[in-house]
């Protein structure tokens, strides 16, 4: 077991987790001063990797969604517009920008369509893997853009990856439940399924002079979808205890009444305390409790991102919830990572609540719960779905042979990084080569100490601290010591003259220098040790 996490209590069922991440996602930028920053996803991924969660799940880089796949929900004209417009030609699309609500909250930026493709592709492939029983939980933190409409952008969202993911789930599942814990109402998803009983939407959000201005208690759906849209309007300052007192009873009754065969959970973190655009007072654990509770129903679960505008808190919570999905709770001390300075001054994982006043009275919450309970009773049980053939799409072709490209990799070449990412370390696997230095298993003794009968070293001795030289702390090193960019080879240390200043036995220094020279192919004229002047 790693020292960076502990098993979650009362979580005995192991889940197969698929985690989707595309390294390109952090390179997009909405523009100066814009609150939406895709870098937060890369910050979260850095924490996930440095906590070692890659050992407990499969990591995938999803195929970006195509224009044709996006038009399963969005109009052809709108998607074509998104694929054509760029910052350099936006002057030619003034009318279209007004028509499709692009330009203010949803600015035109470099790579905008590629950004939408990555977000939608992760949610669609995650849904496809859930439908084909390739995993129990799929995670796409680049998704969760719940405001996008069929023919317009809204609230920093251009393409509604959630609707596309749900449509993929509906091809195999009779009923899908959508739960939204973002501080804003999930209006785009609710609008898309407002007239059907095959998708039930349940949103907990701030209501009243607040974007997007929808999500009233009386919005319950129409036609066949009447009473299949649930909205729980909340007031400022809601705390962990208050949120739990309404979330768990409502979701439990929804599960019993609607009996969904798959669940989509939008984990927007702008409901956290201290968010730049939010007005709730949830801590990290209060937010993560929703994930833990939904997971406990053992339904196929698609977890997506969403809002969240204080980057250090967004990455903290999503990393913690990734751990919960895999069955572990992350330790409070944040490990060294490339964004380590962002988490100061405490360098702790937790996001604590403030002393903000909770405007949600007990009387108000009870009244809303009773109304929602009555609406659920009017459903009359889970709706039935007529059996029919599932039409084939491009996603089926991808899922039929997800490893088709593996056949083209020569056997004598190093395995592709994608194959290495999809490996999952089995519990109890104690290989020091993969897990070196964790859990106190590493043997710090030299080979001479092990070979000696009395356990003492019979050869030359290295002074304290040299057996594991910390190159990142050597003079002149500006690296954090994390990732490939921080690796420093021994020949580089010798060439820089840093090794001479280290407290190393002269014979050991000579041996290391000779090995480094042989590795680099250089010829070394070395004087005999007895002729060597003392250091």
Looking up residue 173, the CATH number of its domain turns out to be 3.40.800.20
Tens of pLDDT along 323-371?
999 999 999 999 999 999 999 999 999 999 999 999 999 999 999 999 9
Binding residue positions for substrate = 105, 155, 309
Residue 434 pLDDT > 60: no
Instruction: Give the per-residue pLDDT at 462.
Output: 37
Binding residue positions = 105, 155, 182, 184, 270, 309
Half-sphere exposure of 179 (CA within 13 A, CB side): 23
Flag whether 265 is in a domain.
yes
Residue 197 pLDDT > 70: yes
Lowest pLDDT segment from 67-71, 434-438, 462-466: 462-466
Contact of 255 with 298, CB cutoff 8 Å: no
Residue 464 pLDDT > 50: no
Residue 491 pLDDT > 50: no
Of the candidates 8, 41, 48, the one whose C-alpha atom is nearest the C-alpha of residue 27 is 41
Flag whether 334 is in a domain.
yes
Flag whether 75 is in a domain.
no
Alpha-carbon span 11 to 484, nearest angstrom: 35
Tens of pLDDT along 64-99?
999 999 999 999 999 999 999 999 999 999 999 999
Lowest pLDDT segment from 85-89, 159-163, 488-492: 488-492
Average pLDDT over residues 122-127: 97
* Annotated active-site residue in 45, 146, 147, 185: 147
User: Which residue range forms the structural domain that includes residue 50?
Assistant: 10-26+34-60+122-379
Instruction: Give the per-residue pLDDT at 11.
Output: 75
Instruction: Give the per-residue pLDDT at 384.
Output: 78
Share of the chain above pLDDT 90, in %: 68
Alpha-carbon span 14 to 136, nearest angstrom: 9
More confident residue, 474 or 131: 131
Instruction: Give the per-residue pLDDT at 515.
Output: 52
Residue 150 pLDDT > 90: yes
Strands, E, within 114-207: which ranges? 137-140, 176-180, 199-206
Contact of 427 with 326, CB cutoff 8 Å: no
Q: How confident is the model at residue 22 (pLDDT cuts 50, 70, 90)?
A: very high
Residue 489 pLDDT > 70: no
For the chain, the average pLDDT equals: 82
Alpha-carbon span 253 to 240, nearest angstrom: 20
Alpha-carbon span 271 to 191, nearest angstrom: 22
Instruction: Give the per-residue pLDDT at 381.
Output: 81
Alpha-carbon span 21 to 39, nearest angstrom: 12
Helix (H) or strand (E) holding 189: helix 187-192
Flag whether 403 is in a domain.
no
Query: Number of folded domains in the chain?
Result: 1
Flag whether 419 is in a domain.
no
Q: How confident is the model at residue 168 (pLDDT cuts 50, 70, 90)?
A: very high
Contact of 123 with 117, CB cutoff 8 Å: no
Pair type for strands 5-7 and 58-60: unpaired
Flag whether 351 is in a domain.
yes
Is 147 tagged catalytic?
A: yes
In which residue are the tokens 């066949």 written?
A: 224
Flag whether 82 is in a domain.
no
Give the long-range contacts of residues 393-400, CB within 8 A, separation 24 or more. Answer: 393/69, 393/171, 394/66, 394/68, 394/69, 395/69, 395/124, 395/125, 395/128, 395/168, 396/128, 398/63, 398/125, 398/128, 399/128, 399/129, 399/132, 399/134
- As a residue count, the chain comes to 535
Alpha-carbon span 201 to 187, nearest angstrom: 10
Instruction: Give the per-residue pLDDT at 427.
Output: 59
Flag whether 368 is in a domain.
yes
Lowest pLDDT segment from 76-80, 139-143, 475-479: 475-479
């Amino acid at each position: 077991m790693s020292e960076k996490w502990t098993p979650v209590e009362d979580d005995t069922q192991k889940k197969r987790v698929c985690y989707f991440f595309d390294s390109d996602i952090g390179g997009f930028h909405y523009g100066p001063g814009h609150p939406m920053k895709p870098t937060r996803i890369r910050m979260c991924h850095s924490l996930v990797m440095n906590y070692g969660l890659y050992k407990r799940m499969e990591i995938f880089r999803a195929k970006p969604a195509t224009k044709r796949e996006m038009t399963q929900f969005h109009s052809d004209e709108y998607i074509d517009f998104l694929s054509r417009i760029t910052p350099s030609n936006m002057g030619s699309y003034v009318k279209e920008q007004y028509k499709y609500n692009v330009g203010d909250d949803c600015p035109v930026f470099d790579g905008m369509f590629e950004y939408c493709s990555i977000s939608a592709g992760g949610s669609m492939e995650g849904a496809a893997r859930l439908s084909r029983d390739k995993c129990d939980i799929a995670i796409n933190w680049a998704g969760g853009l719940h405001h996008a409409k069929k023919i317009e952008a809204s609230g920093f969202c251009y393409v509604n990856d959630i609707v596309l993911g749900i449509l993929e789930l509906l091809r195999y599942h009779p009923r899908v439940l959508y739960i939204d814990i973002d501080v804003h109402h999930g209006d785009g998803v609710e609008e898309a399924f407002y007239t059907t009983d095959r998708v039930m939407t349940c949103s907990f959000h701030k209501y009243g002079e607040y974007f997007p201005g929808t999500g009233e208690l009386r919005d319950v759906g129409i036609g066949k979808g009447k009473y299949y849209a649930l909205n729980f309007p909340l007031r400022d300052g809601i705390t962990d205890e208050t949120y739990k007192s309404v979330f768990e009873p409502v979701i439990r009754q929804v599960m019993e009444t609607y009996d969904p065969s798959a669940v989509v959970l939008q984990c927007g973190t702008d409901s956290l305390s201290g968010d730049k655009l939010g007005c709730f007072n949830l801590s990290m654990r209060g937010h993560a409790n929703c994930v833990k509770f939904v997971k406990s129903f053992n339904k196929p679960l698609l977890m997506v991102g969403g809002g969240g505008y204080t980057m250090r808190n967004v990455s903290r919570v999503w990393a913690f919830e990734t751990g919960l999905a895999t069955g572990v709770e992350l330790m409070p001390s944040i490990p060294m990572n490339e964004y380590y300075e962002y988490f100061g001054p405490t360098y702790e994982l937790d996001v604590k609540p403030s002393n903000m006043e909770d405007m949600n009275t007990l009387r108000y919450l009870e009244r809303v719960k009773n109304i929602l309970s009555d609406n659920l009773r009017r459903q009359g049980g889970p709706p039935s779905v007529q059996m029919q053939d599932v039409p084939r799409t491009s996603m089926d072709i991808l899922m039929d042979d997800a490893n088709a490209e593996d056949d083209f990799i020569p056997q004598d070449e190093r395995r592709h990084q994608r194959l290495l990412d999809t490996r999952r370390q089995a519990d109890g696997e104690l290989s020091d080569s993969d897990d070196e230095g964790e859990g106190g298993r590493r043997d710090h003794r030299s080979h001479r100490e092990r070979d000696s009968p009395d356990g003492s070293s019979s050869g030359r001795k290295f002074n304290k601290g040299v057996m594991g030289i910390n190159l990142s702390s050597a003079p002149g090193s500006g690296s954090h010591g994390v990732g490939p960019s921080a690796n420093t080879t021994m020949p580089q240390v010798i060439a820089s003259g840093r090794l001479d200043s280290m407290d190393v036995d002269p014979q050991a220094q000579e041996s290391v220098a000779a090995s480094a020279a042989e590795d680099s192919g250089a010829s070394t004229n070395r004087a005999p040790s007895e002729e060597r002047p003392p250091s």
